[in-house]
Chain A
Amino acid sequence: MTLTERIGEEMFQTENPIHELNRMLVRYDLTPNQAKVYLFLSKIGVKTASEISKALKIPRTETYHLLSTLQQKGIIFSVFGKPTKFNAVGLEESLEILINNEKNRINELELGKISLIKLWNIIPKNEESEDESQNNKFQSLQGRNSILIKLEQMVKESKESILVLGTNADFKRFYFTEFIELLNNTKSELRILTDHSSDKPHIFESILPKKVKKIDDKNREDFCFIIKDDSEVIFFISDNKVKEMLAVWTDSKAFVITLRSLFSLMWKKSHHVNETDTESLLGSEITYKHRLREIEQEKRILNYLQEHFQVLENTRDKN
């Protein structure tokens, strides 16, 4: 075993810090073997493909491929001579190059997106399949992140209303996320039905109180959902005690309408967070007078109906 081969073998043993470096370079879009070749050249210096292949115990053909890819990425270069030798660009510069490569790739994807959508739009639609897929889509969402992405997307795209029903415990996992900020900034009509305790911090405390109502304890059930524009809903199907979050997103009209009706009923029965039961009953002076007029109107219609049915009954009795 030559000295180069011995170094190559020892370099990637688990206790060597280079092993950890190798693992970290994979995050910069390098395969484990590409990272290995790069680190080997960085430490050892100029070597031929054959020497690299032997030292790292990578088949020769694969080594050529790896070297070619690393050259294309710009983090190794060849030295003229026969046989061709290779050397690596310094680590700091290489990281810079790899980061820029990734940035360029993302920019290209962004640019490609426009052309892709243009192209997609000129392809004629199959009307039949379009109709079938228009509604009643169900998507299962597993894990906090996938649920959060969908929630944020719904709030961002909303144009009319966002209705939220759930307890602090249901939503506490979204603390310090963009979700709450998006709710705060939405131009849509926002309504939140949640539990409330004045002595504990609440995830929705930054939202205007007039948009938040307390769920009546007698009506509390363990369900949690969010409705967007009366057209989409996310329904949580795991409670807050379960570690992994699970939810279902759907645009099924029947499902959305059912939950919308439930929300409206509960909203009607509930009070605003800063309102006592007496305050909600009496309301302002204007509300109080308004209620009295409504009651008087009810009384007048009821009296008429009572008299009318009394006359009917009397006539029936006489007959």
Chain B
Amino acid sequence: MNKDDNTKRRDEILEILIIDDNEQITKMLTTFLELKEHRCTVVNDGKEGLAIVKKNRHDVVLLDLAMPEFDGYSVIKDLEENNMLKNHKIIVFTASTITQEELDDLLKRGVASYILKPIDIDVLLAKILDTANL
């Protein structure tokens, strides 16, 4: 077998961590992902999210960049400083105005992928599955 232990088959149930301060989106997204039989953990705060990422292993982490107090950039920076960024499959999930250059930089540093809001829900799921299978 070529793939490492973190790699999931496309029909496998995924453990997904969603870190986003928008409670409406996290609620709806959880309902959607659970309909697709995946398991979600939701945190609406960057600091709390970082603590969970450090403690547990999820198949995919959906991370919003623009959050009050402790934002997604701070989460990435902290993980990077602790050499933990590449241990997690983090998808930056953002509605922020962000340049391609900035996105490329995030990928270079160890972020697995990115999703720019708004995105069609089927495309979003495909992206999550693709990242889990990286």
Closest residue to A230 on the B side, CB-wise? Answer: B47
A290 adjacent to chain B (CB < 8 Å): yes
Q: How many A-B residue pairs have CB under 8 A?
A: 46
Give Cα distance in the complex from A294 to B118, angstroms.
7
Shortest C-beta distance, B40 to chain A (Å), equals 13
A289 adjacent to chain B (CB < 8 Å): yes
Q: Which of B7-15, B20-28, B82-90, B126-134 faces chain A?
A: B20-28
B103 adjacent to chain A (CB < 8 Å): no
Beyond A286-B97, A300-B119, A300-B121, whether A305 also contacts B32 by CB under 8 A is yes
List residues of chain A with CB within 8 A of the CB of B68.
268
B1 adjacent to chain A (CB < 8 Å): no
Beyond A301-B28, A302-B28, whether A296 also contacts B118 by CB under 8 A is yes
A200 adjacent to chain B (CB < 8 Å): no
List residues of chain A with CB within 8 A of the CB of B69.
189
A289 to B97, Cβ gap below 8 A? yes
Size category, B interface: 20 to 34
A294 to B119, Cβ gap below 8 A? no
B31 to A293, Cβ gap below 8 A? no
Give Cα distance in the complex from A5 to B22, angstroms.
89
Give Cα distance in the complex from A251 to B124, angstroms.
44
List residues of chain A with CB within 8 A of the CB of B28.
298, 301-302, 305
Beyond A290-B97, A293-B95, A308-B35, whether A301 also contacts B25 by CB under 8 A is yes
B52 adjacent to chain A (CB < 8 Å): no
A127-165 CB contacts (< 8 Å) to partner B: none
B120 adjacent to chain A (CB < 8 Å): yes
B120 to A300, Cβ gap below 8 A? yes
B117 adjacent to chain A (CB < 8 Å): yes
A298 to B119, Cβ gap below 8 A? no
B106 adjacent to chain A (CB < 8 Å): no
Give Cα distance in the complex from A304 to B125, angstroms.
12
Beyond A268-B68, A289-B97, A305-B32, whether A294 also contacts B25 by CB under 8 A is yes
B96 adjacent to chain A (CB < 8 Å): yes
A297 adjacent to chain B (CB < 8 Å): yes
Find the residue from B24, B31, B97, B118 having the highest chain A CB count within 10 A.
Answer: B118
7 extra interface residue pairs, beta carbon distance < 8 Å, beyond A264-B45, A300-B120, A305-B31: A290-B66, A290-B95, A291-B95, A293-B117, A298-B25, A301-B28, A302-B28
A residues lining the B interface (CB < 8 Å): 189, 264, 268, 286, 289-291, 293-294, 296-302, 304-305, 308
26 contacts between A and B (CB under 8 A): A264-B45, A290-B96, A290-B97, A293-B95, A293-B117, A294-B25, A294-B95, A294-B117, A296-B117, A296-B118, A297-B25, A297-B95, A297-B117, A298-B22, A298-B24, A298-B28, A300-B118, A300-B120, A300-B121, A301-B25, A301-B28, A301-B32, A302-B28, A304-B121, A305-B35, A308-B35
